[in-house]
């Protein structure tokens, strides 16, 4: 029997053995990040493309340039995009009729993208804030209340029009009670039984949405004619609540959601994990504009590696339980992953 080296501890387990080389680390890696897990959010507007000042590196694309960017992303292995239209102010109304206009910007964008890249999954936002002159996700009453049931009627028409234009999945982000079931019924009645619903199940009234609202000019706006709620806390979830997300999950599952979502992603990893323990449905998580800008700003100031930050945060979101991640970094990630 060879003598034990007096300098070596008699350890029954040495976890570092599984970290010794890149090949071994790859074999035992628990969480994998791949371009197929990414959804690329894209902004579109009529007219020329222009950079978004509040979101460095992001663009409000013209229809033609949008199609080129989608083709580029698809070529990198990104299989899904979600579209956000910037609607001109003159087309915004209190009840958001442009949301279901068959020749509206969103509908034209859906058709253009599906023609340009037929294999890509097109997801669309269903909510009224881009179309509402009050800047809310729903219709605001004369007394300043965001109306639930009246809003749902418009959302159903919006979702059906997106399905008719060729959307693969509609994503209601409004947080009105009962909208998933109503949208499912409306699309089924219109013959769109194959169009999926990705519900914003736990969308929090977060401070991280500011750059996005700037990109679409969709923040709540005061009006002389009626009181306008200054924020969206009467329908988006309280950031202090996690158990409530499970209640919202149960309702969305019962109403027919195909995919459920947590938004924002990074500050709500615990909520993603809770939903993962409670459902077998696919879970999406949205790394929102504020998260994006924080990383870009920190990297630009020096001392932090943008690539390392992005890959670590995305891996953390996946590790928490998200099957797919909406992120503005999607093309960069796809290029980094090769």
Tell me the catalytic residues: 203, 263
Euclidean distance between CA atoms 275 and 288, whole angstroms? 19
Helix (H) or strand (E) holding 300: helix 289-300
Q: Residues in the chain, how many?
A: 338
Residue 5's CB: how many other CB atoms inside 10 A? Answer: 7
CA neighbours within 13 Å on the CB side: how many for 238?
A: 6
Closest listed residue to residue 310, CA positions, set 289, 296, 326, 290: 296
Q: In degrees rounded to 5, what are phi and psi of residue 327?
A: -150, 140
Asked if 141 and 223 count as a contact pair (C-beta separation under 8 A), the reply is: no
Query: Would you state the structure tokens that stand for residue 195, as one six-digit string?
Result: 């169009």
Q: Which two tokens stand for residue 117?
A: 């890249």
Tell me the β-bridge partners of 170.
Answer: 124, 197
Nearest CA to 183 out of 237, 246, 120, 258 is that of 258
At residue 218, the 3 state secondary structure works out as coil
């Amino acid at each position: 029997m060879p003598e034990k080296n007096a300098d070596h501890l008699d350890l029954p387990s040495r976890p570092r053995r599984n970290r010794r080389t890149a090949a071994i680390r790859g074999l035992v890696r628990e969480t994998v990040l791949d371009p197929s897990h990414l959804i690329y959010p894209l902004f579109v507007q009529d007219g020329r493309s222009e950079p978004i000042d509040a979101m460095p590196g992001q663009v409000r694309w013209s229809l033609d340039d949008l199609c080129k960017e989608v083709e580029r992303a698809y070529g990198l292995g990104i299989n899904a995009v979600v579209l956000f239209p910037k609607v001109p102010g003159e087309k915004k109304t209190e009840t958001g009729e442009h949301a279901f206009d068959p020749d509206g910007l969103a509908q034209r964008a859906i058709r253009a993208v599906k023609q340009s890249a037929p294999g890509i999954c097109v997801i669309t936002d269903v909510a009224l804030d881009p179309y509402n002159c009050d800047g809310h996700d729903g219709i605001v009453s004369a007394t300043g209340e965001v109306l639930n049931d009246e809003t749902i009627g418009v959302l159903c028409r919006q979702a059906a029009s997106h399905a008719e234009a060729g959307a693969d999945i509609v994503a209601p982000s409004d947080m009105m009670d009962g909208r998933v079931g109503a949208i499912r019924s409306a699309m089924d009645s219109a013959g769109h039984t194959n169009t999926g619903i990705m519900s914003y199940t736990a969308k929090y009234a977060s401070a991280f949405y500011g750059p996005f609202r700037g990109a679409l000019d969709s923040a709540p706006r005061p009006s002389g004619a009626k009181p306008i709620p200054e924020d969206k806390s009467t329908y988006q979830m309280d950031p202090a609540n996690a158990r409530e997300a499970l209640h919202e999950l149960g309702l969305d599952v019962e109403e027919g959601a195909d995919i459920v979502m947590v938004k924002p992603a990074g500050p709500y990893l615990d909520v993603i994990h809770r939903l993962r323990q409670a459902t077998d449905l696919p879970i999406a998580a949205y790394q929102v504009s504020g998260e994006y800008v924080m990383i870009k700003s920190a990297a630009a100031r020096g001392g932090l590696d943008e690539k390392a930050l992005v890959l670590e945060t995305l891996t953390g979101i996946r590790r928490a339980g998200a099957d797919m991640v909406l992120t503005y970094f999607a093309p960069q990630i796809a290029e980094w992953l090769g």
